[in-house]
Amino acid sequence: MMHRLAKVFEELAAQDRKAFVTFITAGDPDTATSLEILKGLPGAGADVIELGMPFSDPMADGPAIQRASLRALHAGQDMHKTLAMVRAFRETNKTTPIVLMGYYNPIYVYPVDRFLADAVEAGVDGLIVVDAPPEADDELCIPALNAGLNFIRLTTPTTDDHRLGAVLANTSGFVYYVSITGVTGTRAPDLEAVARNVARIKARTTLPVAVGFGVRTPEQAKAIASVADGVVVGSALVDTIAQSLDDKGRATELTVSSVLTLVEKLSAGLKAA
């Protein structure tokens, strides 16, 4: 059976469309609100969903996603609740791929074998684990692939041709190109540099290439979509969640609707590419 990620990218390519990949942090600002947003994302235009696994010591996330993780952790989110969110999502959606994104520590303590089994059972399609390098593939990447999960790797503007081979060796699903040097959501990408590096990656792999880190507006999504197979938006969505909260950090009646409205606008911009 074809993996959900491969099927979505294949179907979009046949329609000459690019994938809209949305990121939210699981449990931000609380589990119930986060699940309502998660369930609404496909209808608003998301083709693939990255669901952040909250972690207190991230290395790749900027202030917006760091604050989202802290909101979720303070609300009691943990890996068991994140996987339960995926199970609840799968009760009504069997087609939209979900990729868990985060760091190795919460997986290591779960521990690894049990986490992979529970993730597959819940309906997870892939993993992006920022601090699991190719040199440690035997520890998480290979077991994940053997369990039937895609393992998506990040490449960056500083990934040279020699390193790119190691990065791509066990990557599956798609390649995530980080459009800036630095953490998420801190500055806008340089389109010419993105186009040049996406072309360099695509010369070495048949996998789709999605671009993220710094995409916040429909105009940026449209521009990135013109040179990549997919566009990832995260910080703009978690910023919208933050701006909708009351003065005690709780969800309001605007929280779900404001995020889904932004997703609709970004999706429309991307489809116009």
Q: Which residues are catalytic?
A: 50, 61
3-state secondary structure of 74: helix
145 touches 190 (CB < 8 A): no
**How does 119-134 read in b/e, with b if 16+ C-beta sit within 10 Å?**
beebbbbbbbbbebee
* Gyration radius (Cα) of the chain, Å: 17
| Residue recorded with tokens 């409205």 | 261
Element (H, E) at 232: strand 230-233
101 closest CA partner among 67, 150, 136: 150
Q: Give, as one character, the DSSP assignment of residue 29.
A: S
Terminal Cα-to-Cα distance of the chain (whole angstroms):
31
What CA–CA distance (Å, rounded) separates 216 from 265? 11
DSSP 126-181: EEEETT--GGGTTTTHHHHHHHT-EE--EE-TT--HHHHHHHHTT--S-EEEE-SS
3-state secondary structure of 216: coil
Q: Which residues contact 163 (CB under 8 A, 6 or more apart)?
A: none
